[in-house]
A and B are shown apart, each in its own frame.
Chain A
């Protein structure tokens, strides 16, 4: 099967390794991965900050990028768009159709044009699927050629990993169990944090406008992470890089360290039977795209 990859601007710029890991784990599952080069950002940051004109400009570009060479023929044959962020997937599915229609009207376009933009955004929204949800659905139907993975060979007890599901993934996409099932299938034992449903404080523009409140929220989450560490968690895994940057950045400012991985990286390590404390540490420290460039 074919699939298009939406890496998100943050993974592209800050953690390309998560994108590389996604390509590898998808190819391992027999997926022909396409990466539309026109993609940049879903526009969520600008949208949530109230700058709808700028958000719409980015959103239109994203719609165009994924239409390119992928939407000829009947809709059933359009490839899924696998997103490496629950939050960006939610932006597309939850906000983009309305945003593009409203913005077209705001710019003085006809209702017909505005409706066309809404339809194009809806077509993209229908194709978007968050990575853990995709893995969850695929691996249930068939093991897709991957043997039951596991951590290192010979390890008897599963490796404990803490999981953090972002707010938009949890509430707007309604995904709570998929990352846990995917991690279990990868041979890990996911631990949900106390107050798992509380926001990490990232919040897009909120986190930049209110650094002190945002950091206090991160500290509350980090206190619960510390409890998970005492219970044996070896790293924190999330399907949203934004949350990881918030928690990792705050942890680092507090003078502490703890490995944090995007779900794609954790699954890729497990696929290669490298989901071990040592390899996790290594992967978390090297942020470069090319794993050989450590």
Chain B
């Protein structure tokens, strides 16, 4: 059984149309992705140790996946020994139920959250809000997205598709709602000052903090959080209760493994050597400690992950959510993240969305959101074979007859004719005759079938009057006649 992801919201053609008709978004995405990709390259170039570490990190991640169940048991023992609670969740409903139970028992009304893809995946905010809880995202990008009522458009920088002017408008509206003074301008400092002031109140009023987790260290039961804004620390230390919702794939065996991994999200994601804040959380506040939550809960999310173990797709579980594949993807640069209809966009989203949510939920992603340029394969620090997986998903769609019969027939006939030399030459001659119908001013236009997809936006040159095969035979005949 795959897991369950929130619905895409709109059809592929509608999402695509909206994306292509939004030049401001596309320009913002092109700019931010190029900048992040350049920073990654510069970071590795200036730090040779980072590359050696990356290679060890790949081995650490793959090794952890190979004994995932054992490590999960070890992690659970360690956390429970330190007074924390661990729960396993098969899917979205399990997490929602668990968090709401804890909230009810502890009289929680207000929740602050730090950035977490796992909670996006299970639409946790919606579940909590439906139950009457007040939920506030505290990562700046997530805060912007929450105010806009959108989903993150990028795994790492969720609001990178928004311009500063758009952010200011959102903040102005929020100021009116809360009856506070709006940002003094749309400079970055003025916008962040507004968010900081607003979020500070939310942190102080919150009863529960919900975080994700970048890594889990099995040997000590430690949750590792990497952030650049410090909001993760406030979320996990100010409120009375801390719940971390983390995918089972985030586990590593030892601190030595973590040592090799810790810098990788920053190096590949933002081009930093290390993110600004690295937080290690091992259980709740202990006796004699002044800070920290009274209760610590870890919810281990499966949602289709366990099924990938041992499959040809296992390596996608090694993903560290750095976003490097998004930043180099020409399709992502062209349509932005919202068009994918999933919190996981870009190449990893093309693979992960159907693997976690089922191919029926996103049949368009493998065939329509990838030009098979292999840029993601080069960019992925965890060496996940994204193009190979995309090809495998395309094959699965064909095998499951998810294509229209006309397309199927075209390929059937094409394969049959082109698999023998006479058939190949015959189709060439036929096409040469047939193209006359669609010739306008020496260019092919408005052709039928698959070719129609080409001529919708591009001209096609006509087929040459004499193919290379024909030229070669004519030349050979001429040379024979000459000798």
Binding site for B on A (CB under 8 A): 7, 9, 11-17, 19-20, 23, 35, 37-41, 46-55, 57-58, 60-61, 65, 167-168, 171-172, 195, 197-199, 201-218, 220, 245-246, 248-250, 252-253, 287-290, 293
Say if the beta carbon of B451 comes within 8 Å of chain A.
yes
Is the beta-carbon distance between A12 and B469 smaller than 8 angstroms? yes
A206 touches B415 (CB 8 A): no
Residues of chain A lying within 8 A (CB to CB) of residue B462: 287
Q: How distant is the Cα of A202 from the Cα of B331 in the complex, in angstroms?
A: 11
A220 to B331, CA, bound (A): 11
Task: Find out whether the CB atom of A249 lies under 8 angstroms from the CB atom of B459.
Answer: yes
| Interface residue? B483 (CB, 8 A) | no
For B255, what are the chain A residues with a Cβ–Cβ distance below 8 Å? none
Q: Which chain B residues lie closer than 8 Å to A204 at the CB level?
A: 372
User: Least Cβ distance of B434 to chain A in Å?
Assistant: 13
Give the shortest distance, in Å, between A267 (CB) and chain B (any CB).
17
**Is A48 a contact partner of B391 (Cβ separation < 8 A)?**
yes
A-contact bits for B333-366, CB 8 A (1 contact / 0 none): 1110000000000000000000000000000000
B461 with A14: CB separation less than 8 A? yes
Residues of A within 8 A of B423 (CB): 40
B414 within 8 A of A: yes
Residue among B335, B420, B461 with max Cβ neighbours from chain A (10 Å): B461
Interface pair A213/B331, CB less than 8 Å apart: yes
Residues of B within 8 Å of A47, CB to CB, are 391
CB neighbours (8 Å) of B457 from chain A are: 211-212, 214-215, 250, 253
Known A13-B464, A17-B464, A213-B16; 6 more pairs at CB < 8 Å? A15-B464, A41-B418, A50-B395, A202-B371, A206-B368, A218-B458
B418 contacts A9, C-beta separation under 8 Å: yes
Shortest B206–chain A CB gap in Å is: 42
CB-CB nearest in chain A for B367: A209
Q: Report the Cα distance A167→B443, complex, angstroms.
A: 27
A179 to B421, CA, bound (A): 31
Cα A90 to Cα B398 in complex, Å, equals: 23
Tell me the complex Cα distance, A249–B460, Å. 6
In the complex, the chain A residue whose C-beta lies closest to that of B463 is A13
Contact residues, B1-50 vs A (CB, 8 A): 16, 20, 30, 34
**Complex: how many Å from CA A51 to CA B421?**
20
B277 within 8 A of A: no
Given contact pairs A12-B469, A13-B431, A49-B394, A287 touches B464 in the complex (Cβ within 8 A): yes
State A253–B471 Cα separation when bound (angstroms).
30
Residue in contact with B414 in the complex, picked from A7, A54, A60, A245, CB distance below 8 Å: A54
Which residues on A sit within 8 Å (CB–CB) of B334?
213, 216-217, 220
Give the segment of B91-99, B233-241, B293-301, B373-381 that binds chain A: B373-381
By the criterion CB–CB under 8 Å, are B453 and A207 in contact?
yes
Q: Annotate B372-400 by CB proximity to A: 1 below 8 A, 0 otherwise.
A: 11110110000000000001001111100
Contact of A287 among B391, B418, B461 (CB under 8 A): B461
Q: How far is the CA of A216 from the CA of B16 in the complex (A)?
A: 12
Tell yes or no: B428 within 8 A of A by CB.
yes
> Which residues of chain A are near B395, meaning CB under 8 Å?
50, 52
Question: Residues of A contacting B367 with CB < 8 Å?
Answer: 49-50, 205-206, 209
Distance in Å: Cβ of A168 to nearest Cβ of chain B: 7
> Which of chain A's residues have a CB closer than 8 A to the CB of B438?
none
- On chain A, the residues within 8 Å of B330 by CB distance are 198-199, 201, 217, 220
| Residues on the A chain within 8 Å of B418, using CB | 9, 40-41, 57-58, 61
Bound state CA distance, A263 and B378, in angstroms? 26
User: Among the listed B331, B378, B456, which residue makes an inter-chain contact with A171, where contact means beta carbons less than 8 Å apart?
Assistant: B378
Q: How far is the CB of B468 from chain A (nearest CB, A)?
A: 4
Please name 28 pairs of A and B residues whose Cβ atoms are closer than 8 Å in the assembled complex, sorted by A: A12-B469, A16-B468, A40-B424, A46-B411, A49-B398, A50-B394, A53-B415, A54-B411, A55-B415, A58-B418, A60-B419, A61-B420, A171-B377, A195-B34, A202-B371, A204-B372, A210-B453, A211-B457, A211-B458, A213-B20, A213-B334, A213-B335, A217-B371, A249-B458, A249-B460, A289-B470, A289-B471, A290-B466
Q: Which of A57, A217, A218, A248 sits near B415, CB closer than 8 Å?
A: A57
* B interface, over-half SS: helix
Q: What separation, in Å, do the CA atoms of A210 and B372 have in the docked complex?
A: 13
Q: Is B454 an interface residue (CB 8 A)?
A: yes
State whether B371 touches A201 (Cβ < 8 A): yes
Rank and list the top 4 A-B pairs by shortest CB-CB distance, nearest first. A54-B415, A203-B371, A50-B394, A249-B458
Are B412 and A40 touching (Cβ within 8 A)? no
Q: Are A41 and B374 touching (Cβ within 8 A)?
A: no
Residues of chain B with a CB closer than 8 A to A13's CB = 428, 431, 463-464, 467
Chain A residues in 8 Å Cβ range of B443: 252
Chain A positions within 8 Å of B30 at CB level = 220
B261 sits at the interface (CB 8 A)? no
Bound complex: CA of A14 vs CA of B464, how far in Å? 5
Whether A206 contacts B468 by the Cβ 8 Å rule is no
Query: In the complex, which residue of chain B has the Cβ closest to the Cβ of A35?
Result: B472
Q: Give the distance to chain B from A112, nearest Cβ to Cβ, in Å.
A: 23
B 399-449 contacts with A by CB, 8 A: 411-412, 414-416, 418-421, 423-424, 428, 431, 443
Q: How far is the CB of B361 from chain A (nearest CB, A)?
A: 18
| CB pair B419 A61 closer than 8 Å | yes
Scoring B416, B456, B468 by chain A CB atoms within 10 A of each residue's CB, the highest score goes to: B468
- Asked if B465 is at the interface (CB within 8 A of a chain A CB), the reply is yes
Is B419 within 8 A of A212, CB to CB? no
Asked whether A168 and B466 contact (CB < 8 A) given A51-B415, A212-B457, the answer is no
Query: Which chain A residue lies CB-closest to B412?
Result: A54
For B331, the closest partner residue in chain A by CB is A213
Q: Which residues of B lie under 8 Å from residue A46 when comparing CB positions? A: 411, 414-415
Q: B370: CB under 8 A from chain A?
A: yes
Known contacts A19-B471, A212-B20; A9 and B424 CB within 8 A of each other: yes
| Interchain CB contact (< 8 A) of B331 among A49, A167, A217 | A217
A245-B461 contact in complex given A13-B431, A206-B368, A216-B334, C-beta closer than 8 Å: yes
How far, in Å, is A11 (CB) from chain B's closest CB? 6
A37–B464 contact, CB under 8 A?
Answer: no
State the CA gap A58–B464 with chains docked (Å). 22
- Asked if B147 is an interface residue, CB under 8 A from chain A, the answer is no
Query: Would A16 and B454 count as touching, CB distance under 8 A?
Result: no
Using Cβ atoms and an 8 Å threshold, which residues of chain B touch A245?
A: 458, 460-461
